[in-house]
Amino acid sequence: MSNILEKIDTIPTLPSIIERLNGVIYKPQTNAKEVAKILSMDPALTSKILRIVNSAFYGLPNRITSITHAIIMLGFNTVKNVAISSSVLDIFKRNAADINFLKEIWKHCIAVASCAKILSKHCGQVLTEEFFISGLLHDIGYIVLYVYQYEKFLEFIEKCKSSTEPPILVEKSIFGYDHQEIGGYLFKKWNMPKILEESASYHHIPLLAQEHNFTVSIVSVADNLAKALSLGNSGSIFTESLPPELVDALNLNALNWELILNDILREYNAALVFMEML
């Protein structure tokens, strides 16, 4: 593990632009112009944000040509989340040995994000943006293992094919730690919002989440749904049993799953625009 931690400690910090963004976004006096000013310091990021907010995923009636306009139309959180996920992915894609498999992992993340957003809506939530971003970045630890422990990662994938153990235990036996611990460690180190840190740390053990139990539970179900739907690749297609307390708390037995699956498929197809981040 110390080997992995050393590598994580050499992972670049988040761009200062994201730190500055996190610093102002929650202040009540912050206005769109101020956020736009920060983002405009990175033209590549700005153009990526504009491409994504103008996609069918957000379904805006008119073309958005500035960050200020994007914030007015979509809100601070949406623009911030697009900026964060794009910046996080940027750090890893440069070092990936095989970009194609990274694309498959990212596709899985987009699927989990879509499932989390739709599921949260069907569970009565109105503001679904945080569920989307929590799903999108839940497997960050997995991406770290893939990029920085490539040889061992291939060994892990091979072993998963024949092992009768759950993949999370196979991970522990090969790497010493699992991707949840790695993801949680990294997000804590980057001082990312607690909701993202907990989603990365507990999506396989949702009942252990402390502050964002509901969001992590949704991400956990979403992760299983994405695997069952075979959207993207997270190394394993095996779904896991959900704790009965979670099933009851989310009232999952009462949901209209046929409707949910149709909504997920529509959402996922539109969300594939996030593949452009790679």
Q: Which residues here bind other proteins, judged by CB under 8 A?
A: 161-162, 164, 224-225, 228-230, 233, 237-242, 244, 247, 252-253, 257-258, 261, 265
On whether the CB atoms of residues 50 and 65 are closer than 8 A, the answer is: yes
Nearer to other proteins, 24 or 242 (CB): 242
Shortest gap between Cβ of 238 and other proteins (angstroms)?
7
Nearer Cβ to other proteins (31/239): 239
Residue with smaller CB distance to other proteins, 73 or 265: 265
From CA 67, how far away is CA 20, in angstroms rounded? Answer: 16
- State the minimum distance, in angstroms, from the CB of residue 103 to other proteins: 15
Query: CA-to-CA distance for 227 and 31, rounded, in angstroms?
Result: 40
Task: Quickly count: other Cβ atoms within 10 Å of residue 29's Cβ.
Answer: 6
Residue among 5 and 252 whose Cβ is closer to other proteins? 252
Q: How far is the CB of 115 from other proteins (least distance, A)?
A: 11
Q: 196: which residues sit within 8 A by CB, 6+ positions away?
A: 133, 134, 137, 187
> Where on the phi/psi map is residue 62: left (φ > 0), alpha (ψ -120 to 50), or beta?
beta
Torsions phi, psi of 56, nearest 5?
Answer: -60, -20
Please say which residue, 62 or 162, places its beta carbon nearer to other proteins: 162
Task: Find the shortest distance in angstroms from Cβ 6 to other proteins.
Answer: 32
- Cβ closest to other proteins, residue 16 vs residue 251: 251
Instruction: Return the closest-CA partner of residue 129 out of 142, 138, 120.
Output: 120
Task: Compute the least distance from the CB of residue 239 to other proteins, in Å.
Answer: 5
Q: Which of 217, 187, 214 is nearest to 204 (CA)?
A: 217
Half-sphere exposure in the Cβ direction for 9 (13 Å, CA)? 6
As a whole number of angstroms, the distance between CA 121 and CA 112 comes to 14
Give dist(CA 146, CA 103) in Å, integer. Answer: 12
Q: How far is the CB of 221 from other proteins (least distance, A)?
A: 8
Choose between 17 and 265: whose C-beta lies nearer to other proteins: 265
Closest CB 225 distance from other proteins, rounded Å: 7
Comparing CB distances to other proteins, the nearer of 39 and 123 is: 123
Strands (E), the chain: none
CB of 247 to other proteins, least distance (A): 4
**CA 251 vs CA 11, 193, 244, 248: distances in Å:** 40, 27, 10, 5
